[in-house]
Amino acid sequence: MAQFEKEFRYLCRQINSLSNGQAHASYDNIFNHSNSSARTSISSSSSESDEPTSSLGFHIEITPQDGPYAHGSYIFRIEASTDGDYPEYPPIVSCLTRIYHPNIDTTYQNYYNNVCVSTVNEWNDGTNSTLEDILQGLMFLFHSPNLDDPLTSNITSDEKEFLKYVRISIEGGLIEDFDQVDIFEMNYGYKRYLMEQEKQYIEEGEQLDDHLVNILTREPNYKELFNADTLEFLMNTTSITHSTRHNKETFTNS
């Protein structure tokens, strides 16, 4: 597995420039170091999947800065068998974060080998294919999801409706008939982004817009997420009175 480790070390050195600051990689399971708010939107344990135990892998977290999935964060596990067949055979790519995406199937709590990415499908025996190609393929999926060739039939083919559902899945809400767990909890990366935004607003003494307040206060435990100054600021914002409903009607109207 020397080639796998060599490519991983190279990827770690170059990943910031390769992803324009939108990704980072670690041998450690990023999930294990995520805070409690992150764990609500990530697979609870890889041991619950069919993941093989004889493998060498690492994790990549991608946080798109723009596009349909802007400011959401998603964790992937990239692994190769320790039997020594890398790079002859492509690595297995698994998304551990629940997502609404035509080419990533996390429906029904499927968190193993659930990503359809061209750089894996077109793997060239390691001759011209590397872990860097895997990263580029994943980045491409977030900016150009392929609705014409979906991995799961649960995704709408209507582009306008699709974009609406993507935002619901990130901001938290209900997507009818998606899978047996219809309500998406707010994506942990997006929650982190909002907390950074509200901190900046308060430091600059600016008024939060209604949409941001609505999202910030949508979580039932939102009072536990922010400091005293933030809560006072939010409580003095008039729109808070109509933004704290956390039920099916609110999700449907989001």
DSSP secondary structure string for all residues of 197-229 = HHHHHHHTTPPPPHHHHHHHTTSTTGGGTS-HH
Kindly report the pTM of this predicted structure: 0.78
161 and 94 together in one domain: no
Peptide bond into 87 cis (omega under 30): yes
Q: What is the mean pLDDT of residues 56-84?
A: 91
Residue of 166, 85, 79, 175 lying closest to 131 (CA atoms): 79
What is the CB-side half-sphere exposure of residue 114 using CA atoms within 13 A? 27
**Does a structural domain hold residue 150?**
no
Q: What is the mean pLDDT of residues 34-47?
A: 41
Which residue segment(s) compose the domain that 134 sits in?
2-143
Q: For residues 43 and 1, what is the distance between their CA atoms, to the nearest angstrom? A: 27
Q: For residues 102 and 116, what is the distance between their CA atoms, to the nearest angstrom? A: 9
103 and 184 together in one domain: no
Please check the confidence at residue 224 and state whether its pLDDT lies above 90: no
Of 110, 143, 176, the position where a domain reaches its end is: 143
- Cβ neighbourhood burial of 125 (10 Å; 0-12, 13-18, 19+): exposed
* DSSP 8-state assignment for residue 91: P
111 and 166 together in one domain: no
**Does a structural domain hold residue 148?**
no
Of 109, 143, 177, the position where a domain reaches its end is: 143
118 and 171 together in one domain: no
CA dihedral 205, 209, 210, 216 (to 10 degrees): -70
183 and 104 together in one domain: no
pLDDT per residue over 134-173, tens digit each? 999 999 999 999 999 899 888 999 999 999 999 999 999 9
pLDDT at residue 121, rounded to an integer:
87
- Domains: count for the chain: 2
Average pLDDT in the chain: 79
160 and 135 together in one domain: no
Lowest mean pLDDT among 79-93, 95-109, 182-196: 79-93
7 and 100 together in one domain: yes
Lowest mean pLDDT among 27-31, 119-123, 165-169, 193-197: 27-31
Please check the confidence at residue 242 and state whether its pLDDT lies above 50: no
| Pair 4, 12: CB distance under 8 Å | no
pLDDT at residue 212, rounded to an integer:
72
77 and 24 together in one domain: yes
How far from each other are the two terminal CA atoms of the chain, in whole angstroms?
48
Positions marked catalytic? 116
**Does a structural domain hold residue 65?**
yes
**Does a structural domain hold residue 95?**
yes
pLDDT at residue 35, rounded to an integer:
43
What residues have CB less than 8 Å from 249, skipping those under 6 apart?
none
116 and 14 together in one domain: yes
CATH number, residue 107? 3.10.110.10
Q: How confident is the model at residue 65 (pLDDT cuts 50, 70, 90)?
A: very high
Instruction: Report the interhelical angle of 188-203 vs 228-235 (nearest 10°).
Output: 80
Structure token pair of residue 22: 């939108």
18 and 100 together in one domain: yes
Of 95, 122, 143, the position where a domain reaches its end is: 143
